[in-house]
Structure 1
Amino acid sequence: MSALVVADRILTSGKYKSVLSLIKGFRNGAVYGAKIRLPHALVITFLFGQGPLVKKLRLILQATYTHSKNLASFVLTYKALLLLLRQVETSQKTYHSFIAAFIGGYVIWGKFNKINEQINLYLLSRILYGLAKLAVDKGYIIKPSGDVFPWFAALVWGTVLWLFEHHRAVLQTSLRSSMTYLYHDSNVWHSLRDFLLYNR
């Protein structure tokens, strides 16, 4: 009997499903992190990065590795803690997911670096949006009769530009840089060359 057949039997038997799901979760986290970060890092680094090609490639690989490693580690930690909590309490409880993710979030996503900051900010916006929808679904907030998306957009953009113009230091560095390029650098030019072809 070949090793592949034996491996297939083990994987499909269900006997080691819990342990194997941890391995598969780690693998999926690593793959997904790399698939998400590599194209993003590639585009951002070559559009806005400075320095030699080797330095740019190193930055791209570092960002991809960090995102992939952190996501894989978080998935493994989260799933392992869920299994542990189910063993301790003998059944799955609704708060298990929060506790497992809270611990994993603290340990893995709580280490400050640019990748973790970006992911946490990304999730925060989705959470706020989701909580608003949940509040409507549960009846805590009356469902609006009209389209609220234009008001949501207006509030987001009004607030961010007010912060940029009057309290810039509180904004994330990359956001400040993007907004400076869009709204302030567009006020400066010295010739047709830096009006059309280059920023300054």
Structure 2
Amino acid sequence: MTRNMASIINKLLLSGKYHDLLTLMKGFRNGAVYGAKIRFPHALVMTLLFRGGPISEQARTILRATYTHSKNLASFVILYKGLRLMFIKFDGKPAEYHSFISALIGGYLIWGKYNKVNEQINLYLLSRILYGLIKLGVERGYIPKPKGDSFPIFGALVWGIVLWLFEHHQHTLQPSLQSSMTYLYHESNLWHNIWDFLIYNR
């Protein structure tokens, strides 16, 4: 790109004339990049650790998961930002419900399609929003402010409930969590000799 062309593009970007359109384009770009940055290393590690098969199939699995995450995040960002901008233009000023309704529609259309990537992202967000809602409830006085450090109670409840579900209602948990917990808590009860006690699991 020539210096003159870069100068023209910079003037256009900084003029403010097409700010709404440009913010959608930049949001799409950031969603695609962030989705790939987050998913590729995760898919690489999980595939190499837990999936067998030919290298070509493993590479396809990694690239498919990365593409899905990147595409969905980019699509959601542009949809959410576009809807929110429409609400703001319609009302004349921003309101809290704009964010909720815009994300609700985007969540249904993008994150509501079942696949493993969407499931993981939705579960990740669920834990974060529950934590955030409790903090908001304390801030607004709906929940009494704990005296002292409440994190040990949080940790105790999370682990108490998940192990109770695992031991007595395992079918209610996500398959990957069932698999991890079976490895940690049940398969550690079994061995036949020193080799499957120390070197490999079974």
Question: Do Structure 1 and Structure 2 share a fold, with TM-score over 0.5?
Answer: yes
Gaps of 5+ in 2: none
Q: Percent identity?
A: 65
**2:185 counterpart residue number:** 183
Q: Deviations over 1:123-174 (max 9, x none)?
A: 0100010111101101111111121111111111011011111111110010
* Secondary structure of the structure 1 residue equivalent to 2:52: coil
**2:174 counterpart residue number:** 172
Give the counterpart letter for 1:47 in structure 2.
L
The answer to whether residue 141 in structure 2 is matched with residue 145 in structure 1 is no
Q: Deviations over 1:85-105 (max 9, x none)?
A: 112112211110001000000
* Secondary structure of the structure 2 residue equivalent to 1:190: coil
Match of 1:100 among 84, 99, 102: 102
What is the distance in 2 between the residues matched to 1:69 and 1:193?
45
Match of 2:89 among 83, 87, 90: 87
What is the distance in 2 between the residues matched to 1:122 and 1:116?
10
What is the distance in 2 between the residues matched to 1:93 and 1:15?
23
Give the counterpart letter for 2:10 in structure 1.
D
What is the distance in 1 between the residues matched to 2:106 and 2:9?
30
Following superposition, the deviation at residue 21 of structure 1 comes to 0.4
What is the distance in 2 between the residues matched to 1:126 and 1:25?
22
Following superposition, the deviation at residue 198 of structure 1 comes to 1.0
**1:115 counterpart residue number:** 117
What is the distance in 2 between the residues matched to 1:54 and 1:195?
33
* Secondary structure of the structure 2 residue equivalent to 1:119: helix
Following superposition, the deviation at residue 36 of structure 1 comes to 0.5
Match of 2:64 among 62, 65, 69: 62
Match of 1:161 among 157, 160, 163: 163
**2:23 counterpart residue number:** 21
Equivalences for 1:26-41 in 2 at 5 Å? 26-41=28-43
RMSD: 1.0
What is the distance in 2 between the residues matched to 1:192 and 1:57?
35
What is the distance in 1 between the residues matched to 2:48 and 2:190?
24
